[in-house]
Each structure stands twice: as C-alpha cells, then as structure tokens.
Structure 1
C-alpha cells in the first residue's frame, strides 16, 4: 500500500472514509476499500454506534491498522456543530477519546476542529508530539462559503497552534463560491508552511475535488464504499481525473 503522507508527492492524495455503524460494518467497508488502493483512509468514528465505548473504539482502530498495513489513517470525530453525527460524547469526552487513540494505536493523523477550546487543542498537540501523531486542524461550514479573510484566518490559526495540516471544507451556494474557495486555496498555499486541504462540497463543489490540487490542496476525499460528505465521487473516477490533470500539466511544462 502507498504510505505517502499528506503534503508529499506531486498530486493530491485520495482519501476514502469508513462510516459503518457497527464494528462488522466498518470491517466490511475496509475490505471493500482496500481493494481500491486509496492513499489515505479516514474513520469517521462519529458514525460508529458504540463510540462511547472507548475500549471497543481502540480495538477496532487497531484491527483496522493491522489489516491495512502501512497506509496512513485519519481518526475523526466530527462534532454536530460542524456537520457530524449526533453522539452522546461532549467536547471533553471527545478529547479524551482522541488522546486514547494517540496513546494506544499506530494511527498517523487525528482530525481536530479549530472551533474547539484553545486549551483542548494545546492539550491534544502536546500528546500528539509525545506519541508522534499528526493533527489536522479542520474547519467546516455546511451552510455557506465564508469570506476569504475568514478562511485565511483558519489556516493561520492552524499554523499558530503548530498543527501539522490545515483543512477547510465549505458549502458553495453559487459557482462563484467555488471559485472563491480555489482562490483562497492558492493564497493559503503561498502563505502557510504546512500542507493544506480545501474542499468545496455539494454538486457545485465537485470540481474542487478534481482540480483543488492544482491550486495547492494536498488531499481529496472520494467514495471507496460509502460517502461521508455531499459531493464526493467514486475513487476510480477521481483517480482517473487526477492522473489526466497531472499528465496534462506535466506535458504543458515540458
């Protein structure tokens, strides 16, 4: 399997989500996904019905890692306020679970929302440094596309917290919103010194998943078994598009 990390390579990596409600469902998804050879896999644990059972979450996380080998993994518990599933865990409970993942699994990445309390972010960063994990500082807006200065502030915030990757995902209402997101991507790529991920969601935003890498986005999400957000396309289709774009740009530079 490809063990390239986010920000490495000449084209954006492809990440597929696992969103099963049960352990058996997650394992079945993983079996289906591995055949398609994604670059990265994300477990959206907020979809998992037993997320409050920390020992079970750790058990499945370790099983996933053992089954997939060297492929990088992202562990994510998306909050309800940023488009996640309704769960019984509060912000402090989620922090404790993420610390547990850092300390007791071999997973490479933890996705953590920038809207969390600064003290929580600092705490997780300290644990991540000790356990050699990387943190993706993320911001999601499922209602619209904020102004460019607000989005650039999110990237700057991730840098200020000394996180490893900065991610912004927004919902376009017009095609102009998609263009605005791509412009922000290009600006952020030139301004910050860490890898960035940008996504314009929904049907208008599909194009950003295909060409975001041209503007500086280091990773794009696709469907391996099931979707975790609106606008994701099948991994085989996305891989074909990214290969064509890379070939065309490479040819034009020669």
Structure 2
C-alpha cells in the first residue's frame, strides 16, 4: 500500500508549529515541509531553527525537506548557490530524513548534495514537475531513469493532464518504469482533478508514495488524508485477495 505524505505549508513559525501539532496526531507515514511557503526561507538560520522545532513536535514521523522552485510550481525562486546552501544546511541539521532535489538543477550541485546526504544518512528524492502538460510516455520514463541513474533513492515525477489520455500516459509510464527499470521505489502522479485516480492507484501501477492534504493542499488534486486512506485500504484489500 502506498505511503501517505502530507505537506506543511505554513508561512510563519506559529503556523508551522500549529501544522506540526496537528499532523503529529494523525496516522500518516511522512510529512513534507514545503519550505518555499515559509516567509523566512531566505534566512538559513531561521529555517534551521524552525526545522528543529518541527522535528521536536513531529517526534518519530519521517520528515521530507522540499524547496520547490517557482519554475516547477513552487512559491519562490532563489539562486542556485542559495538553493545548494539551504539544502546542505538542512541535511546537516540531522532533523531531516529526506530531501527533495529537482532533476533539472545544475548536475554538479546535485551530485554534491547527494554526496552530503549520503554522508549524513539522509535519503534523496530527485523530482520533476511539469505544470503545463504531460510529456510522452517515453519522456516520463526517461526522466525517472535519469533521476535513478543520478543516484536518487526515490525518483519522482508529477505532470499536468490536459485530458483523460494524459492520465493514462502517466499510468502507463509508471507501470513500465516499475516493471522494467526501477531499482527502488518511485513516485508518480498526474495533478488536478483529472489526475486524482493516479494518486489513488499507486499500488496497481507502481507509485510508492501519494500526497494528501490535511489543512491546505500544496498542489492541485491532493485529496484529504482520511478519504485518501480509506480508498488506499480498499484497493489494497482487493489487490491482496486476488
């Protein structure tokens, strides 16, 4: 059954503490701190201090650190040097279990972040988000394989469907990657309303983590956690029986 990850999107320390308290009481597998929503994101010390508080409140729930750039659907754009500095600092806090690194950043920066993460026993998701369209199946598979080859612990791709056929394209690519190339778990999804089925059917097609909303969604098409969990369980029970 796919793991459920819930994003934290607080803008202030108070909002983040409230979110963390709320999530700490939920039956979820993973929390993603979308730090690009945070008002002090360009202050490394502020981010570091907030991460310590979040870690303390969440207890043993695994924590994923993500700065999503504006060009991939995030709230903010920063320079490459700062992106690298911020991620490196968060790896070294020991507060993070995983970090998200974007597939199309500078490869030298990426390889260095992966090296630092491995040294600190932090897992790396290498991700790509296309908010405009759904690439052809071959391109989706190619991007996932590239992320894997670069050293991702988990390759991830999210695409925007313009029609139902695009959703099928994403699911076919997921299934092909899982059955022919994947050496570890992968994450895939089609966004928005048309793509909701892809967030529910990971166990069938091969996506290991799905993102659900607790209070506020971080991307279009995220389903509420309780609804998400009930559907995942329903699918899981039937898959096991057959």
Q: Distance in 2 between matches of 1:222 and 1:200?
A: 13
Task: Give the CA deviation at 1:38.
Answer: 1.1
Q: Residue 242 of structure 1: which of 228, 232, 237 is its match? A: 232
> How does the TM-score come out when normalised to structure 1?
0.93
8 A Cα contact 1:36 1:224, kept in partner = no
Q: Distance in 2 between matches of 1:74 and 1:93?
A: 19
**Superposed counterparts of 1:80-229, under 5 Å:** 80-87=70-77, 89-190=78-179, 191-229=181-219
Partner of 2:10: 20
Q: Distance in 1 between matches of 2:222 and 2:184?
A: 24
Q: Distance in 2 between matches of 1:25 and 1:69?
A: 18
Per-residue CA deviations over 1:35-58 (Å, capped at 9, x if unaligned) read 222110000000000001111111
Q: Distance in 1 between matches of 2:140 and 2:120?
A: 30
> How does the TM-score come out when normalised to structure 2?
0.97
Task: Give the CA deviation at 1:212.
Answer: 2.1
8 A Cα contact 1:213 1:219, kept in partner = no
Q: Is residue 60 of structure 1 aligned with residue 50 of structure 2? A: yes
Q: Residue 232 of structure 1: which of 216, 222, 229 is its match? A: 222
Partner of 2:26: 36
Task: Give the CA deviation at 1:105.
Answer: 2.7
How much is the aligned-residue C-alpha RMSD, in angstroms? 0.9
Task: Give the CA deviation at 1:125.
Answer: 0.9
Per-residue CA deviations over 1:157-207 (Å, capped at 9, x if unaligned) read 112111210000000010111111011111111212021000100000011
SS in 1 for 2:64: strand
Partner of 1:5: none
Partner of 1:71: 61
Q: Distance in 1 between matches of 2:25 and 2:119?
A: 33
8 A Cα contact 1:108 1:133, kept in partner = yes
> Larger relative contact order (C-alpha < 8 A, sep ≥ 6)?
1
Gaps of 5+ in 1: 1-10
